[in-house]
Chain A
Amino acid sequence: MTTPTTHDRPTPRNRPRIGTALTYLSLLVASLVVLVPLVVVFLTSLKSSREVSDGGSALSLPHDWLNFSNYATAFHDGEMLRAFGNTAFILLFSITGTVLIGSMTAYAIDRFEFRLKRTVMALFLVATLVPGVTTQVATFQVVNSFGLVDSRWAPILLYMGTDIVSIYIFLQFIRGIPTSLDEAARLDGANTFTIYRKIIFPLLKPAIATVVIVKGITTYNDFYIPFLYMPSEDKGTISTALFRFKGPFGAHWEAISAGAILVILPTLLIFLFLQRYIYNGFAQGATK
């Protein structure tokens, strides 16, 4: 970029400069809008309860930057350890289940010709049109009739059974795997299950990564299902534990802030490490 000294071509050179400046300005404003609420909560989490209740500005800095006592309170009184444990348990099973179910469905639909194939496809397709929130009143009764309400298996089954997006991701991906591979394996005497296990499943790795990321983040953050299906205190996931934590600490914003930051922190770390995959995952997950 040379400086525009000549006067004969002012518009094409000056215009983009102002444009660029405005672009950066808009990006800066947007970043502030995103960051300010989060930073304020982080600052609050480091303040003592007196600092907060004295009515200083929400934007003031904490006196002691290493005051982690609120985190200890939130971690201990909010039963966060148990909540993380419950969430991890649910994550492990529902993600494994979703990957197996999704890849098996995609394999069966893409690699076989059978009667009712179109019907099966239509069943999965129509189900995408039914939003989960609308059917919970009746789904609750189904789960209840299995005696699973207030058990960690209720959300696991629901996450596995209603995840049609992952089936689509696998279906798109499995189409790209040449069938000649299956046939070669079949000539070598492999049966259908061996082909699925030894050939298809390993080749699905990129799709599995996508599903694990998308499913993992949405499950970690879900509130609705654990809230409805696991009312007991000891079954809290991080969402519901944080939600309940606010009750006894109603006005103690320093403790609540610490709880919120504790919950956000793992997401932030995962995001920083897996940025690229996460973008791609969500872009694929939502459009398919």
Chain B
Amino acid sequence: MTDTTSTAPSTPARQAAPVGRRPRRGVPPTRSWRDHPLRRITPWLFLLAPLALLITFTYVPVGNMIYYSFTDWDGVSPDRSVVGFDNYTQLFTRPELFRVFFVSFYYLAASAVQIVIALYFATVLSFDLRFRNFFKGILFFPYLINGVAIGFVFLYFFQDGGTLDSVLSWFGVGGDHAWLGDPESANTSLAGVSVWRFTGLNFVLFLGAIQSIPGELYEAAQLDGASRRQQFRHIIAPSIRPVLSLSVILAISGSLAVFEIPYIMTGGATGTSTFVIQTVKLAFQFNKTGLASACAVVLLLIILVITWIQRRLVPDDKVDLV
């Protein structure tokens, strides 16, 4: 509650600031500085290192990647020949290459579960409860844990006769099961781990959004006799819409780009290979840089298209960068 009261008065102040400061910019405080030749290049001195890094490690790779995707380069030898759309044709016609896309659906379903759980607990914990901070901490903590450690924790958890089997046997659901042994249960188990790991992040985002709702709104609603459910529908739901849409977009692109957990836990065996695992293997184990680049380009395009659709559907009024 303290958060809501402190943000409320600061908002008008922040909005007022630019009004007060923009005109002042037009009146130069020191004429000599205005005319100084250094002034033109000053911003570039600050931007030199950031832009160099940005271009070297983002734009140059993207450009190169598109070029490599049209070649048969192996990543090592000095010669490569342009093969046109050959890599793309391979990607879409060889079922074993394309199949990995379907693994994403497990993670997509997991993301949906994750968002629902996070939304529920964020709503519950934004009201007064005993041990509120304790529960907040517990729900969020998995997100902070090292991915390799999580992989091992759950490798042990899913072992034949391991933790999960022991817990299930208490409830009379008997039998040891090799959870990571067949593709169906392996992918479900891995997707479960991703729910365990990432729910906390969504939860904190939702919690932040809910807590920035002014407290008076709830009080007014309570005076009008609105139930918790009505409060959720008419106050909470509309105000977290931007964060919700952000979570959806992160969930979709995240589901396509899963790497760590399946790589650490199964190495992509028993049908758990994801798109990124396959790309990494193609590039760094089988030296098929060209084909791997084509994979990466396709993934990048899909993510860009999804982001574009999301921006169209939910116009983001927060993009106020310039």
A and B physically associate: yes
Which one of B43, B61, B75, B163 contacts A36 once the chains associate, using CB atoms below 8 Å? B163
> How far is B53's CA from A125's CA once the two chains are assembled, in angstroms?
15
Q: Contact: B204 with A279, CB < 8 Å?
A: yes
Q: A171-B321, A271-B137 are in contact. Are A26 and B124 (CB under 8 A)?
A: yes
CB of B296 to closest CB in A, whole Å: 5
Q: Contact: B65 with A131, CB < 8 Å?
A: no
Contacts of A31 in B (CB 8 A): 135, 138-139
CB of B79 to closest CB in A, whole Å: 15
The answer to whether the Cβ of A153 comes within 8 Å of any Cβ in the partner chain is no
> How far is B307's CA from A109's CA once the two chains are assembled, in angstroms?
25
Q: Contact: B167 with A34, CB < 8 Å?
A: no
Contacts of B143 in A (CB 8 A): 282
Within 8 A of B (CB), among A92-129: 101-102, 104-105, 107-109, 112, 114, 117-118, 120-121, 123-125, 127, 129
Q: Contact: B146 with A238, CB < 8 Å?
A: yes
Q: Contact: B144 with A267, CB < 8 Å?
A: yes
Which one of B56, B152, B300 contacts A246 once the chains associate, using CB atoms below 8 Å? B152
> How far is B60's CA from A127's CA once the two chains are assembled, in angstroms?
12
Q: Contact: B62 with A135, CB < 8 Å?
A: yes
The answer to whether the Cβ of B248 comes within 8 Å of any Cβ in the partner chain is no
Closest to B151 in A: A243
The answer to whether the Cβ of B136 comes within 8 Å of any Cβ in the partner chain is yes
Within 8 A of A (CB), among B27-65: 29-30, 33, 40, 42-44, 46-47, 49-51, 53-62, 64-65
Q: Contact: A137 with B145, CB < 8 Å?
A: no
Q: Contact: B53 with A101, CB < 8 Å?
A: yes
Stretch at the interface among B102-110, B177-185, B231-239, B252-260: B252-260
Q: Contact: B46 with A283, CB < 8 Å?
A: no
The answer to whether the Cβ of A169 comes within 8 Å of any Cβ in the partner chain is no
Within 8 A of B (CB), among A224-283: 224, 228, 238-240, 242-243, 246, 253, 256-257, 259-261, 263-264, 267-268, 271, 275, 278-280, 282-283
CB of A8 to closest CB in B, whole Å: 17
The answer to whether the Cβ of B70 comes within 8 Å of any Cβ in the partner chain is no
Closest to B14 in A: A176
Contacts of A33 in B (CB 8 A): 196
CB of A165 to closest CB in B, whole Å: 12
> How far is B279's CA from A85's CA once the two chains are assembled, in angstroms?
31
Contacts of A160 in B (CB 8 A): 53
Q: Contact: A176 with B153, CB < 8 Å?
A: no
> How far is B259's CA from A81's CA once the two chains are assembled, in angstroms?
27
The answer to whether the Cβ of A203 comes within 8 Å of any Cβ in the partner chain is no
Contacts of B54 in A (CB 8 A): 123-124, 127, 161
Q: Contact: B260 with A40, CB < 8 Å?
A: no
Which one of B138, B140, B156 contacts A279 once the chains associate, using CB atoms below 8 Å? B140
Helix, strand, loop or mixed for chain B's interface?
Answer: helix
Contacts of B88 in A (CB 8 A): none
The answer to whether the Cβ of B312 comes within 8 Å of any Cβ in the partner chain is no
The answer to whether the Cβ of A14 comes within 8 Å of any Cβ in the partner chain is no
The answer to whether the Cβ of A41 comes within 8 Å of any Cβ in the partner chain is yes
Closest to B10 in A: A176
Q: Contact: A180 with B21, CB < 8 Å?
A: yes
> How far is B125's CA from A33's CA once the two chains are assembled, in angstroms?
17
> How far is B138's CA from A154's CA once the two chains are assembled, in angstroms?
35
Closest to B144 in A: A267
CB of A285 to closest CB in B, whole Å: 10
CB of A77 to closest CB in B, whole Å: 15
The answer to whether the Cβ of B188 comes within 8 Å of any Cβ in the partner chain is no
Q: Contact: B163 with A40, CB < 8 Å?
A: yes
Q: A58-B156, A105-B50, A131-B300 are in contact. Are A271 and B141 (CB under 8 A)?
A: yes
> How far is B21's CA from A242's CA once the two chains are assembled, in angstroms?
53
CB of B75 to closest CB in A, whole Å: 7
28 contacts between A and B (CB under 8 A): A19-B228, A31-B135, A33-B196, A34-B141, A41-B153, A57-B166, A104-B46, A104-B49, A104-B50, A108-B43, A131-B257, A135-B61, A137-B289, A138-B60, A138-B61, A138-B65, A178-B21, A183-B24, A183-B29, A224-B260, A228-B284, A239-B148, A242-B152, A260-B152, A263-B148, A268-B141, A275-B133, A286-B201
